Amino acid sequence: DYVGSWGTAILGHAHPAVVKAVQEVAEHGLSFGAPTAGEVEIAMKICQHFPSIESVRLVSSGTEATMSAIRLARGATGRDKILKFEGCYHGHSDSLLVKAGSGALTFGMPSSPGVPKVMAQETLTATYNDIDSVTQIFEKYGHEIAAIIVEPIAGNMNCVLPLPGFLSGLREICDQYKSLLIVDEVMTGFRVDLNGAQKVYNIKPDITTLGKVIGGGMPIAAFGGRKDIMEQMSPAGSIYQAGTLSGNPIAVAAGLATLKEVEKPGFFTDLSAKTDYLMQGLLARSQAAKIPLSVNYMGGMFGIFFTDEPVVSHFAQVMNTDLPRFKKFFSAVLQQGIYMAPSAYEAGFISAAHTMQDLEKSLDIVEQVFSKFEK
């Protein structure tokens, strides 16, 4: 399984420590609608590992986290427009389902019916890894833009790494126009590094969103950031947000048990080494079979592209990859027991449960599959 619940299952499935934590907590009640000690503990862990998060609030899904972050940015700046990138996916709230990635892209509906035109008009879209496209939009609308929201590694149009200068360029533009920078680490948080992609790329967001790994397979997500901004949330401030099941004890227990595993020394070194082994193995086999292939990866996430372009860093390149070949590859490896994302526009994920033998077996299967491809 290289899907791992779309990046959530970093320890694999049914990790004993996670299952035990959930079972123990369940005996005491499922939800109280009030904060619990576990909730405070996980909040402190998040702040500890993400120094840009001075204050954090828990919610129940990545969609809720980004939706709330957008409302906070709009409320805090008094501006309505936001800027996102074509092919980036931030969940399915109205403001963010514009030129989206993930399933919206796979099923050919990147901008969904049902999103009111007035909402869609407030969402501007730029090109990922193209800072000029952002500058141009800011020159026109800069003082109306509440925030830029970005995936620090784009994981919903396959896997595209940020080019040097892209993320720092966004930071500078936000500072210049007094807009906020929302870094959506729902996928990358505790997935590419213990301190997120923001540590890897040395970028300081105003607001960060987290999800997936922090719940260990249970519904939990979070948004947090600068204290002066977070304090504007109700009840301390007037920007409203709430949730009956937010930070419920079961999800928190699964999340805490997961984070305790990923905090262990060497966890991310091992995970990254496995990803590297699989990706370099794939490249070697594709070269031997003369199948043009390109890969991107960081920590426990990766992307493979059937293309002869050596580096894939733009949405347009992703859209130009060989889709029929991907489909053939997907079906052939699935028949041999390998579960990849059923789309050329999704990232792949490695978990701590993958053994070197699993990876070796996967590479053997890929070698067989490639040998049957037409050149």
Catalytic residue numbers read 89, 184, 212
Q: Scanning the structure block, which residue is given the tokens 């862990």?
A: 45
Q: Which is nearer to ligand PLP, 188 or 286 (CB)?
A: 188
DSSP 8-state symbol, 162: P
Is the CB of 148 or the CB of 221 nearer to ligand PLP?
Answer: 221
Give the tokens for residue 283: 């490249």
Distance in Å, CB of 316 to ligand PLP, minimum: 20
Listing DSSP states for 258-281 in one string gives HHHHHTSTTHHHHHHHHHHHHHHH
- How many angstroms separate the CA atoms of 306 and 303, rounded? 10
Q: Please count the other Cβ atoms lying within 10 Å of the Cβ belonging to residue 35.
A: 14
Q: Note whether 193 and 182 are within 8 A (CB).
A: no
Which of 2/89 has CB closer to ligand PLP?
A: 89
Residues in contact with 78: Cβ distance below 8 Å, sequence separation at least 6, in sequence order? none
**Smallest separation, CB 364 to ligand PLP (Å):** 30
Q: Which residues contact 189 (CB under 8 A, 6 or more apart)?
A: 50, 196, 197, 208, 210, 211, 212, 213, 214
Nearer to ligand PLP among residue 125 and residue 286 (C-beta):
125
> Which single residue brings its beta carbon nearest to ligand PLP?
62
Q: Compute the least distance from the CB of residue 368 to ligand PLP, in Å.
A: 31
Q: How far is the CB of 238 from ligand PLP (least distance, A)?
A: 26
Report the nearest approach of ligand PLP to the CB of residue 196 (Å).
Answer: 12
CB-wise, 38 or 91, nearer to ligand PLP? 91
The dihedral over CA atoms of 190, 194, 199, 200, expressed in degrees to the nearest 10, equals -80
Q: Which is nearer to ligand PLP, 3 or 365 (by Cβ)? A: 3
Structure tokens at 337: 């027991």
Query: Closer CB to ligand PLP, residue 184 or residue 193?
Result: 184
Transcribe 185-228 into DSSP letters.
Answer: ETTTBTTTBTTHHHHHTT---SEEEE-GGGGTTSS-EEEEE-HH
C-beta of 8: minimal distance to ligand PLP in Å?
9
Q: Contact residues for ligand PLP (CB under 6 A)?
A: 6, 61-63, 66, 89-91, 102, 151, 155-156, 184, 186-187, 211, 221
What is the residue-wise DSSP string for 93-156? Answer: -GGG-SS--HHHHHTT-SS-TTS-HHHHHTEEEE-TT-HHHHHHHHHHHGGGEEEEEE-SSB-S
Amino acid 187 reads M
Least Å from the CB of residue 97 to ligand PLP: 11
**Burial category of 198 from C-beta neighbours within 10 Å (exposed 0-12, middle 13-18, buried 19 and up):** buried
